Amino acid sequence: MNTKQKKVVTEIMFHSPWRRYFFPRYLYNFTPAQLCFLCRCIEDTKHIIGAISEVGCSIGSTTVFLNKHLDAQNIQKEYFALDSFSGFLDEDISFEVAKRGKTRGQFSAFQINKKKWFDETMRMNGITRVRSIEADVNQFDLTTLGPLCFSLLDVDLYRPMKKALHELYEVLSPGGIIVVDDCTTVNNTCDGSDQAYKEFMKEKNLPAQIIHGKLGLIRKLG
């Protein structure tokens, strides 16, 4: 193969769907340190009664990562993954615009998704413990997931976050942990998570703890 032919092949591969096998990309919205912290939370709560829930799971990258960790550590826990699988809901966006000074253009993320795609991702990765639930957090009774030992809450916006925090905490077993994503004011779009988390901790008379820059930590004492 001459130089020109090699260049053509290289160009074809770069623009081909197969390029992901040659040019891997980072798939997570968490840093390695943040992912390690989530794994540590799972290990710290493995002997506590209850299932694991991930509220706001998007396409399932983090779901796969955490379940592979469960497999590696031989931790047998039921795992719930709940999402609208259609992006931010109009009622939540309207609240952000009317009450929190946002613009609708800030909330276009996560729209290209389907529950069946998420389920297929789990199947392709050999994960069978995950039960996916397509629902609006504002309408779904999260207490039906309990008891819980660990929950990752990643719904970004104030309205669903505030509602979810109270329900998840209600069914969190003593010693259990909730980790709330986006507890930072750096990303202006998702600062509703930060506000809801800090309000919740104040209501419960608990100290707010932000780990690795954006993970709000809640531990339920016995």
Question: Other CB atoms closer than 10 Å to residue 176's CB: what's the count?
Answer: 27
Distance separating alpha carbons of residues 196 and 161, to the nearest angstrom? 6
Given pLDDT bands bounded at 50, 70 and 90, which one contains residue 93? low
Binning pLDDT at 50, 70 and 90, where does residue 137 land? very high
Tell me the H-state helices in the chain.
3-15, 32-44, 61-72, 90-100, 115-124, 158-170, 191-203
Percent of the chain with pLDDT over 90: 66
Higher local confidence (pLDDT), 5 or 220:
220
Q: Report yes or no: 33 and 212 within 8 Å, Cβ to Cβ.
A: yes
* Choice between 13 and 22, residue whose per-residue pLDDT is larger: 22
Residue 168: pLDDT over 90? yes
Question: What's the pLDDT tens digit per position in 24-43?
Answer: 788 888 999 999 999 999 99
Question: Is the sign of the CA dihedral 142, 144, 147, 152 positive or negative?
Answer: negative
Domains and CATH numbers, the chain: 27-219 (3.40.50.150)
- Residue, of 134 and 107, whose pLDDT is higher: 134
How far, in Å, are 103, 111, 123, 137 from residue 108 at the CA level? Answer: 11, 7, 28, 18
Say how many CA atoms lie within 13 Å of 146 toward its Cβ: 17
Alpha carbons 81 and 217: distance in angstroms, whole number: 19
Q: What is the pTM of this model?
A: 0.85
More confident residue, 27 or 76: 76
Give the residue-averaged pLDDT of 190-197: 88
Residue 148 φ/ψ, nearest 5 degrees: -120, 145
For the chain, the straight-line distance linking the first and the last C-alpha, in angstroms and rounded, comes to 69
Average per-residue pLDDT for the chain: 87
**Do residues 169 and 111 lie in contact, with contact meaning Cβ atoms separated by under 8 Å?**
no
Bridge pairing between strands 215-219 and 210-211: antiparallel
Half-sphere exposure of 96 (CA within 13 A, CB side): 27
Instruction: Check whether 151 has a pLDDT greater than 90.
Output: yes
Choice among 5-19, 90-104, 120-134, 158-172 with the minimum mean pLDDT:
5-19
